[in-house]
Amino acid sequence: MKVYHPIQELEATGLVRAAISIRHGGVSQAPYASLNLAEHVGDCPKAVATNRQIFFAATGVQKLVYCRQIHSARVIEAESVGEVREPADAIISATPGCALGVFTADCVPVFILDSATPAIGIVHAGWRGTLAKIAVNAIKEMSARFGTAPEDCLVHLGPSIQKCCYTVSSDLISQFTAHFGLFVQDGTNLALQAANAVQLVESGVPSAAISVSPFCTACCTEHFYSYRAEGGRTGRMLSFIQLSSSFRVGM
């Protein structure tokens, strides 16, 4: 059974593996059925461990680096992550073979590939992180640490809750409109993917280098977890990006 959706726009470069899990093929029981990959949502730890074995066997991931997500704008380098998960919402690396991961169930997973260095990043962008421009912060940190240039980046905005289902307060709409323009909202419905795309283009990422998943997690709960559509008690997908071990920094 298929347990993940590859990010073909990035994998076509031959530089990375990149994918997001789907909710099929695991052992978790409702309300986490069935391939919940997150430890922090109340699911049975043994089920999560089994699900991870299933997912890692299917994808070939051997080492996964992730953080304790806090809806922040904090970016960390993978090499600084130890046994205790650091609080952050984006991870970057230029180390071949190391897979970087974030967990989502409506928030936007942002996959970043600097194809010139090469280097990678992955971002968990909820509304707080999006307002704080965490995706842009990740590229800034990649620039500072690896020499990444925004114009060399390919970015994919993965499956997330979309404008059709994301009704928010008028105050939050006003904040997003002030930062990103009127086209990120429709009445009181918010387009998180569009807000992330706007800030990335403003930072220098070519608009043609940004691809956007058409899947709304809240509309497609048969394939994805949705915190909002499922009443706040559900599993999480895992998005990962891994720099090929065939490449080295400076090549």
Which domains are present in the chain? 4-243 (3.60.140.10)
Amino acid at 202: E
Residue 39 reports pLDDT greater than 90: yes
Residue 248 reports pLDDT greater than 50: no
Is 4 in contact with 22 (CB distance < 8 Å)? yes
pLDDT above 70: percentage of residues in the chain: 96
How distant, in Å, are the alpha carbons of 48, 100, 158, 162 from that of 213? Answer: 26, 19, 5, 10
Name the least confident of 56-60, 120-124, 149-153, 176-180: 176-180
Q: What is the mean pLDDT of residues 108-115?
A: 98
Q: What is the mean pLDDT of residues 135-143?
A: 98
CA distance 75 to 89: 6
Q: What is the pLDDT of residues 179-219, one digit of tens each?
A: 998 778 888 899 999 999 999 999 999 999 999 999 999 99
**pTM listed for this prediction:** 0.95
Is 203 in contact with 147 (CB distance < 8 Å)? no
Residue 86 pLDDT grade (very low, low, confident, very high; cuts 50, 70, 90): confident
Residue 85 pLDDT grade (very low, low, confident, very high; cuts 50, 70, 90): confident
For residue 215, which of 161, 166, 168, 165 has the smallest C-alpha distance?
A: 161
Q: Dihedral, CA atoms, 7, 13, 15, 17, nearest 10 degrees?
A: 20
Residue 249 reports pLDDT greater than 80: no
pLDDT the model gives residue 83: 57
For residue 31, which of 233, 202, 248 has the smallest C-alpha distance?
A: 233
Tally of CB atoms within 10 A around 50: 15
CA distance 19 to 181: 30
Residue 84 pLDDT grade (very low, low, confident, very high; cuts 50, 70, 90): low
Q: What is the mean pLDDT of residues 228-233?
A: 96
Which two tokens mark 109? 């997973």
pLDDT the model gives residue 81: 72
